[in-house]
Chain A
Amino acid sequence: MATNGTEFESVRTVSVVRHYKLGRSLIPAVDGVSLAAGRGEFIALLGASGSGKSTLLNLIAGLDRPDSGAIVVEGSDLATMTSEQLAQYRRHTVGMVFQSFNLVPTMTLYENVELPMRFAEVKRKERRARVTEALEKVGLSDRMKHRPSEMSGGEQQRAALARALANRPKLLLADEPTGNLDSKTGTEIMDLIRELNRTLEMTVIMVTHERSLAERYANRLVFLGDGKLVGESINELEKIGAGR
């Protein structure tokens, strides 16, 4: 395990706190979580709904800011970044997939995958090559001109994965990626994520409430409850590479 040496470290959170205001009271969604992920590691965040796992993921994604604590990704602290720097960080360092896929319904598959590269100001010629490459990786090369509504759930999630890969991020964040899929396509997606994790050496942090899924794919399981870290277990089975 490589969680201590900084050169192997991808993500580290230090006593991260994030409250939400509900009327007059403050609800601590994430309450002092310290967590580290090594480069190329596959971590599953587990917990009941409301345990703060999605909030933590959004914080690591740079979509939200912590009220206190630090989130250091690839050497820089997100908590001190300007909103423009955060946008850049999301653009270049992170790829995200969601439970509800979140493809833009009015865009074709090609355009959806191309979208993050527009923000990253990638040249048109290069974009074409990268879209093709990403779609090949997820096996959707022949559906470029289709709109999301013309694709199955599994295909949509694969498209979302291709989009997450477009800017070649070091970190893949997945929020219940199989939540809207049947178990067979869910397995396909998870296989794909693990493959990306291994071949591209991408760090993966995945939020899920399905323990079995986590045990099957993740190196490490992290348990959250009421915004706090309540347990951690290293997946021995996965570690010896007998995932299936």
Chain B
Amino acid sequence: MRAYDLIELAGRNLREAGLRNSLTTLGIGVGVASLVAMLSLGIGLQKLATRQLGRSGLFDTVVVTSRQDSRGPRFAQAAPVTAQIKPLDDVARHNFEQMANVAEVYPNFSAVGDVRLETDKTGNHFTVVGTLPQSARTSEAFDDVQGSFFSSGTAEEAIILGDFGRDLLNLPREPRGTDVKLTSDQASQLLGKYIVLRYHKREAGESAPLAGKTTKKGEADPDDVDSADGVKAEDAQSFNLVPKTLKLKIVGIVSSEPNRGLRQGRTPMFLPLALAESLDMVQAGELWSTLRPSENKTYIALIVRVAKSKAVSQVEDEIRKQGFSTFSILDASKGITRFFTFLDLFLGIFGSLALAVASLGIVNTLVMAILERRREIGIMKALGASDGDVKRIFFVEAGSMGILGGALGAGLGWAIGRAINFATNIYLQRQDIRPENFWVVPVWLVAAALGFSVFVSMFAGLYPASRAAKLDPVQALRHD
């Protein structure tokens, strides 16, 4: 029999017992909906967790420090540098860059400075300044960026966090730790505007006693010399601190910290990495390490970004072999992945139960249909339908109920998810928590649910179909 005849006959059979078949289809729909709802909850929660973690950049990051440093500042001078301990310098950095699966290597940079809007002469904001490599452009934090990323690695530009933007605009602070997205009105007051950053440049010392007061642009006021200066000044051997100012253009505002990684504290402002390196800013935590005699420039820590998170342990091992200390939270990520696999499995089994029950409905409906259509099946066979034809008709009927039920269920599951997202978000907003999508229905889930529903329905149709095919036409046509 040709396919369209098959579909037409199956279709008319389904219509003939409309109510019963609709109810069966609805049953399948509810089953699929429960499956979709359960799985999308699992997927949603997983996405939520990995988004937070992924945004943090924890899982593809290895932090490398020198073993020398791990002993702490006081020992650094007391114990002389041994041959085995390698400095974390540009040679090491270059080595890391050459490793397989390493995407990039950049210093963990963190400096402090005073920042104000160019137009706002009074409001100085003491802040931590971080850097972003050009690759951070793809960080999830930039999904909802207002403005853009740096135009180049050396551009005199800045990207700031939303809540720091509020600070700059002298608006009241949001509760700590919350991600703030500025209104487009607020953003337009900042984007493209210039801020003035005052920082301290590290200059090689020629035993100058106090360099703190020398200002190049005349912007700094006497308060600039903070306690760090004082400490440094006593050890005139190493370097001088020169206050500097720099005008930066605000190009982007993000609500959460990009490439958070293992960065500590909150970094509300970022400069392009290459620019920051060229500025030779004094970094927080650099003081003790620079007291040590060292000819080359060394890094406090290097961030090694790994191309795929699977390769993290391998890269970590290699770096350790080279004689450095490393840190990553690979194991945590493994545990989380395993947890969600189990959660999804559990939710999936739970959701499938309803579908299994619904598939019994199909068996029931079709077996009933055989009893009812006994004579019709006999007639069809007498007219030349083969066993296979009869089987296929029932199969297509079961499959159609599967497709319709699957589509219905996917739609229903999606709607349930939307409704629950909506409801929870209203609640979350009332609690002043950022709204999140707990329920995520990806396209593949819809397709898989449809496919699974058709498969289950066909499977359920297996028994009725073969029973119908085996029906003896002589018995079926015997007049009663």
Q: Which residues of B contact A120 (CB under 8 A)?
A: 384
Q: Do A121 and B12 have beta carbons less than 8 Å apart?
A: no
B436 within 8 A of A: no
Q: Which residues of A contact B387 (CB under 8 A)?
A: 83-84, 87
Q: Do B383 and A90 have beta carbons less than 8 Å apart?
A: yes
Q: Do B381 and A63 have beta carbons less than 8 Å apart?
A: yes
A115 to B16 Cα, complex, angstroms: 17
Q: Which residues of A contact B388 (CB under 8 A)?
A: 84
Q: Do A91 and B473 have beta carbons less than 8 Å apart?
A: no
Instruction: Name the distance in Å between B83's Cβ and chain A's nearest Cβ.
Output: 86
Q: Which B382-435 residues have C-beta < 8 A from chain A?
A: 382-389
Q: Do B2 and A121 have beta carbons less than 8 Å apart?
A: yes
SS class of chain B's interface: helix, strand, loop or mixed?
Answer: helix
Size category, A interface? 20 to 34
A167 to B5 Cα, complex, angstroms: 16
Q: Do A96 and B382 have beta carbons less than 8 Å apart?
A: yes
Q: Which B310-360 residues have C-beta < 8 A from chain A?
A: none
Interface size on B, residues (CB 8 A): 24
A217 within 8 A of B: no
**Least CB separation from B379: chain A residue:** A102
A104 within 8 A of B: yes
Instruction: Name the distance in Å between A152's Cβ and chain B's nearest Cβ.
Output: 19
Contact with B along A66-87 (1 / 0, CB 8 A): 0000000000000000011001
**Least CB separation from B375: chain A residue:** A102
Q: Do A116 and B384 have beta carbons less than 8 Å apart?
A: yes
A53 to B381 Cα, complex, angstroms: 20
Contact with B along A111-148 (1 / 0, CB 8 A): 00001101111000000000000000000000000000
A61 within 8 A of B: yes
A58 within 8 A of B: yes
B380 within 8 A of A: yes
Q: Which B449-480 residues have C-beta < 8 A from chain A?
A: 473-474, 477, 479
Query: With A63-B474, A100-B479, A119-B1 in contact, do A106 and B382 touch (Cβ < 8 Å)?
Result: no
Q: Which residues of B contact A118 (CB under 8 A)?
A: 1-2, 5, 9
Instruction: Name the distance in Å between A170's Cβ and chain B's nearest Cβ.
Output: 14
A88 within 8 A of B: yes
A99 within 8 A of B: yes
Q: Which residues of A contact B375 (CB under 8 A)?
A: 102
Q: Do A90 and B376 have beta carbons less than 8 Å apart?
A: no
A155 within 8 A of B: no
Q: Do B380 and A99 have beta carbons less than 8 Å apart?
A: no
A99 to B479 Cα, complex, angstroms: 8
Q: Which residues of B contact A87 (CB under 8 A)?
A: 381, 384-387, 389
Contact with A along B1-41 (1 / 0, CB 8 A): 11001000100100010000000000000000000000000
Q: Do B474 and A58 have beta carbons less than 8 Å apart?
A: yes
Q: Do A98 and B477 have beta carbons less than 8 Å apart?
A: yes
Instruction: Name the distance in Å between B398's Cβ and chain A's nearest Cβ.
Output: 19
A64 within 8 A of B: yes
**Least CB separation from B376: chain A residue:** A104
Q: Do B477 and A88 have beta carbons less than 8 Å apart?
A: no
* Shortest beta-carbon contacts, A-B, top 3: A91-B384, A87-B386, A116-B383
